[in-house]
Amino acid sequence: MLDSPQYPIRTFADIGGIIFGDWCKYTIISMQLLFLIFTAGIITTACAQGLEIMRDERVCYVGLILLLSGVLYIFGQLREVNYIAKICIFAAIINYIGMFVQMKYLFEYPPNYANAETLLAIDKGPIIVTGVASGNVIGKFAAMTSLAYVFCGSIVFPEIISELKRPWDFWKGAFLAQAVILIIYLIYGNVIYSRQGQFSITPAVFGISVPSALKGLSFVTFICGFCQALFYGNISSKVAYNNFVIELLNGPEIREGKGWLYWIGVTFIVWLIVFLIGAGIP
């Protein structure tokens, strides 16, 4: 039932719709859209944090979120996922280079106790490295939310596959990506935790205590986060457009002339919600 040339799987929600019916499909759409928009909001907020750290003087936090959301909205007018993919590949390369540079500073210097106190509510003290969950409720909750990102990409696999010229190439890319992630992050995570213990922060760059390195690597983190936010914002807009504009409102296809006008409206609503999420945090 899931492999049909007549009714192909184009979205994650199509799987639930074919198996259980329309009620399941639209439930999944709503939850998926909410998850993607919140993810874009979280990443945009992290980008604003990176910008804040790079500046010596204080600036308006809500203004930063507004600026980022506006710029991402402009870039979000790209309708083809292959353009976004090229940007993400560039961001991934920069990200991995930045991670190895981070490890040098995180390994050789003490944790950033000030950021740990601000972001994790952990006071300065001896570094504790344990094999079991420890720390306060905030630390445990942060760990659980980080684990949620493991499944973040899987809910957009059908959307990505449906836009590929050679869909059967997807498994090769997925296998390669998982292999790289597994190898690099096992090294990265163990190095950081072995040196910083309960003071480990997400993103880890905020745990660097050398001011110049913190600012420089925060800029790298900002570039990577910007590209991630662009990707999730674009996918959020695609999910909303395909399922609400086309199916519910019988609107035009996204590549048609009128489709571009609808696309502008959908992306505006998505990034408006992202802005409200980010601006509401303080």
Per-residue model confidence as pLDDT tens digits over 219-247: 888 888 888 888 888 888 888 887 788 87
pLDDT at 20: 92
Average pLDDT over residues 114-143: 74
pLDDT at 179: 92
User: Do 80 and 165 meet the contact criterion of CB atoms below 8 Å apart?
Assistant: no
Please report, in angstroms and rounded to a whole number, the separation of the first and last CA atoms in the chain.
47
pTM, 2 dp: 0.75
Residue 79: pLDDT band with limits 50, 70, 90: low
* Burial environment of residue 99 by CB neighbours within 10 A (0 to 12, 13 to 18, 19 or more): buried
Gyration radius of the chain's alpha carbons: 20
Q: Is the pLDDT of residue 201 over 60?
A: yes
55, 76, 106 from 73: Cα distances, Å? 24, 5, 34
Phi and psi angles of residue 65, each rounded to the nearest 5 degrees, phi first: -60, -40
